[in-house]
Chain A
């Protein structure tokens, strides 16, 4: 969203808060895609994201008359979406804390739980995505190292692997951010 669009939504939401019904369509047309995208990125589940975005939008309009012009309209709107996403996540976490005995009985002893399997699959997918962004030679070096098929005692391979790992870190930080 560029500066002009932000200024426009600030103006429209301020007008709607005062009672200008003519601003409603514009506010809806701008904020609905914004909330939906935010929820999709936050929840990574289209159905849950749609549900959270719809609820957030309803709450936003319910409180639209309370919007104060000195607040940032986009941040104010996204706060509703963030709250709904957190609620959805907490609800899902609550369900995980109450495991279904029948489902648990189907998990073989020592096998990863469905949550662990999902996390592993997610990480695997993210790693493949990052590898795909690297130069083919770097990706090939990393795959060889992961597969344990590195040539023993090769200084050239060690150097190449070191450079490939550095590039991998940079690419990971660029895509997923860092904890710093």
Chain B
């Protein structure tokens, strides 16, 4: 290795550090890519999987590169939204369910309930973190994107159901945490 000045060495060291972090951050893809593959196997449209998948991949990798806490947040967000990806699609395959005289589409309640599960899960983890808000934001965005892959099976209403579920799942955890701290 050519002899370097201290300034050059510091810059080269920083570059080596960033390369090392990128290698570590790519581990997030070990979770994100199988989830995208699962979405394709659940017959989700290729365009949707590619578009949302690209966003999720770039976001996950970028956040993991930034800090370990965001890598953990993305992992938690993606994992929490696996039910939101799978349940609406599975219910969609059942079709309209008849309860007495009424015809019920189980997909929209499924998007809401899986959103509640994801929201409660990431919020419960976020309240234990030192940087709660940034962790929660990273996790909830990752959960929203992952869940959207499945919830769009019923169109925009499914996404709205998911978002409402995420909010409904988050709120009680935040209130409880605030009461405990207060």
Contacts and interface: CB of A to CB of B under 8 A. Distances in A.
Interface of A: 16-20, 24-25, 28, 32, 47, 50-51, 54-55, 57-59, 61-66
A19 B66 contact: yes
Interface string B1-25: 1011010011011101101110110
A18 B25 CA distance: 11
B74 to A, nearest CB: 13
B67 interface: yes
Interface centre among B13, B24, B70 (most CB of A within 10 A): B13
Interface of B: 1, 3-4, 6, 9-10, 12-14, 16-17, 19-21, 23-24, 65-70
Contact of A51 (B1, B12, B17, B65): B1
17 contacts: A18-B69, A19-B21, A19-B66, A19-B68, A19-B69, A24-B13, A24-B14, A25-B10, A50-B3, A51-B1, A51-B3, A58-B1, A58-B13, A62-B20, A63-B20, A65-B23, A66-B24
Contact of A54 (B4, B17, B19, B69): B4
A65 B17 CA distance: 7
B9 A62 contact: no
Contacts, number: 58
A28 B24 contact: no
A64 B19 CA distance: 10
A51 B19 CA distance: 21
B20 A66 contact: yes
A68 B17 CA distance: 15
A21 B40 CA distance: 38
A17 B41 CA distance: 37
A17 B19 CA distance: 13
A31 to B, nearest CB: 9
A51 B4 CA distance: 9
Contacts of B66: 19
A61 B17 contact: yes
A18 B16 contact: no
Given A24-B14, A32-B9, A64-B20, A18 B68 contact: yes
Contacts of A20: 67
A16 B16 CA distance: 13
A64 B23 CA distance: 11
B9 A61 contact: no
Contacts of A51: 1, 3
B16 A62 contact: yes
Given A32-B9, A66-B20, A55 B67 contact: no
